[in-house]
C-alpha cells in the first residue's frame, strides 16, 4: 500500500484553480491508498476553529472528511491554530511539530519544516511567541473579525520582510537538519514550508540519510505536487488533470 504526502497548498477563495485541483486530488487520487498526510499550510491561514462556519472552510473540511482512509494533519506556520473541532470536521488526526511514523516499514520524521530554518532569527522569535499557549488563549478570545484583521496585517508584513531577506536565510540550516536526524534517530525525513521541491542526501555519523522536501501548490510546473511512498520507495508525483 502507498502513503501520500502533500503540503503548502495555501488554499483560499482567491485561488479557485488550486482549490479545484485539491478537491479533484481528494476525489480521484487519494482513494485506495493507505493514508494521507498533509504537512502544514493546508490553508492560507486559519484564524481558529470557530471559522469552520465559513462556507469555503466547510467545503474543504467536508471534502477531506469524505476520504475513507486515515488522514493526518501536521499544522504549519499558517494554520497552527487548528483544534479539536477541525479534527472532527475533517476526520483527521492532528500531529505535533515533529513526530516519527513508520512509513512503508521505515521510521520517518515528519515535520512542517519551519523549525529547521534557524538562520531566520526574526521568524523563530515570532514562532515562539505565537506557539505559546497563553498567547494563543488570548488571541482566540478576540472576536473572529479582529483575529482575521491581525492575521492579514501580519501576512502583509511578512511579505515585506521576505523582500529584504536572502534566500539562504529562509532555507533550512544544515546543522538543524543534522540535529533533527540525530535527535530522532532516523535516516529519513519529509517536510514542506520552504517550497523548494527536492530530495537531499547526507552522510551523518556514517549513516545514509535523505530529506524529502515537498513543493507548494501553484498554477505552474509544480501543480498539485505530492509524494507517494510504498515498500518500493519514494516517488514524486504531479496531479494536474487535463481539462475535459
Q: What are the distances in angstroms from CA 176 to CA 107, 113, 154?
A: 19, 10, 26
Q: What are the distances in angstroms from CA 3 to CA 50, 87, 155?
A: 31, 20, 32
- Judge if pTM exceeds 0.85: yes
Distance CA 151, CA 91 (A): 26
Distance CA 79, CA 90 (A): 14
Segment 179-230, tens digit of pLDDT: 999 999 999 999 999 999 999 999 999 999 999 999 999 876 667 899 999 9
**Residue 142 main-chain phi, psi, to 5 deg:** -75, 155
Res. 244: pLDDT tops 50: no
Confidence of residue 238 (pLDDT cuts 50, 70, 90): confident
Residue 101, C-alpha cell as written in the block: 511514523
Q: Kindly write down the DSSP assignment for every residue of 191-215, as one continuous string.
A: E-SS---EEEEEEETTEEEEEEEPP
Segment 138-190, tens digit of pLDDT: 999 999 999 999 999 988 877 767 665 566 667 999 999 999 999 999 999 99
Give the chain's domains with CATH numbers: 3-121+166-239 (3.60.21.10)
Residue 83, C-alpha cell as written in the block: 483544534
Residue pair 10/217 in contact by the 8 Å Cβ criterion: yes
pLDDT at 86: 98
Q: What are the distances in angstroms from CA 158 to CA 29, 60, 125, 165, 170?
A: 34, 25, 13, 11, 12
**Ramachandran assignment for 223, one of left (phi > 0), alpha (psi -120 to 50 degrees), beta (any other):** left
pLDDT at 158: 74
Segment 33-64, tens digit of pLDDT: 999 999 999 999 999 999 999 999 999 999 99
Confidence of residue 1 (pLDDT cuts 50, 70, 90): confident
Residue pair 218/7 in contact by the 8 Å Cβ criterion: no
pLDDT at 154: 87
| Strand 188-191 relative to strand 198-204, pairing | unpaired
Rg, the chain, Cα only: 18
pLDDT at 162: 64
Q: Per mean pLDDT, which range of 14-18, 98-102, 171-175 is the poorest?
A: 14-18
pLDDT at 167: 64
Q: Give the mean pLDDT of 83-90.
A: 98
Residue 52 CB-half CA count within 13 A? 14
Distance CA 188, CA 202 (A): 10
Who wins on pLDDT, 166 or 234?
234
Amino acid at each position: 500500500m502507498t502513503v501520500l504526502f502533500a503540503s503548502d497548498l495555501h488554499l483560499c477563495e482567491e485561488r479557485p484553480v488550486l482549490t479545484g485541483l485539491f478537491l479533484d486530488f481528494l476525489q480521484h487520487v487519494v482513494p485506495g491508498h493507505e493514508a494521507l498526510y498533509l504537512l502544514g499550510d493546508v490553508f492560507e491561514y486559519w484564524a481558529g476553529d470557530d471559522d469552520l462556519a465559513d462556507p469555503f472552510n466547510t467545503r474543504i473540511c467536508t471534502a477531506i472528511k469524505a476520504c475513507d482512509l486515515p488522514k493526518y494533519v501536521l499544522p504549519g506556520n499558517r494554520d497552527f491554530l487548528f483544534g479539536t473541532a477541525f479534527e472532527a470536521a475533517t476526520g483527521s488526526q492532528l500531529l505535533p511539530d515533529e513526530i516519527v511514523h513508520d512509513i512503508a516499514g521505515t521510521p520517518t520524521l515528519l515535520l512542517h519544516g519551519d523549525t529547521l530554518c534557524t538562520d531566520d532569527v526574526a521568524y523563530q522569535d515570532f514562532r515562539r511567541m505565537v506557539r505559546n499557549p497563553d498567547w494563543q488563549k488570548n488571541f482566540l478570545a478576540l472576536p473572529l473579525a479582529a483575529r482575521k484583521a491581525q492575521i492579514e496585517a501580519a501576512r502583509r508584513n511578512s511579505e515585506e520582510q521576505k523582500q529584504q531577506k536572502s534566500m539562504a536565510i529562509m532555507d533550512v540550516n544544515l546543522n538543524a537538519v543534522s540535529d533533527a536526524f540525530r535527535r530522532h534517530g532516523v535516516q529519513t525525513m519529509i517536510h514542506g514550508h520552504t517550497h523548494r521541491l527536492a530530495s537531499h542526501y547526507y552522510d551523518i555519523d556514517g549513516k545514509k540519510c535523505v530529506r524529502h522536501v515537498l513543493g507548494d501548490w501553484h498554477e505552474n510546473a509544480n501543480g498539485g505536487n505530492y509524494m507517494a511512498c510504498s515498500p518500493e520507495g519514494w516517488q514524486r508525483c504531479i496531479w494536474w488533470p487535463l481539462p475535459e
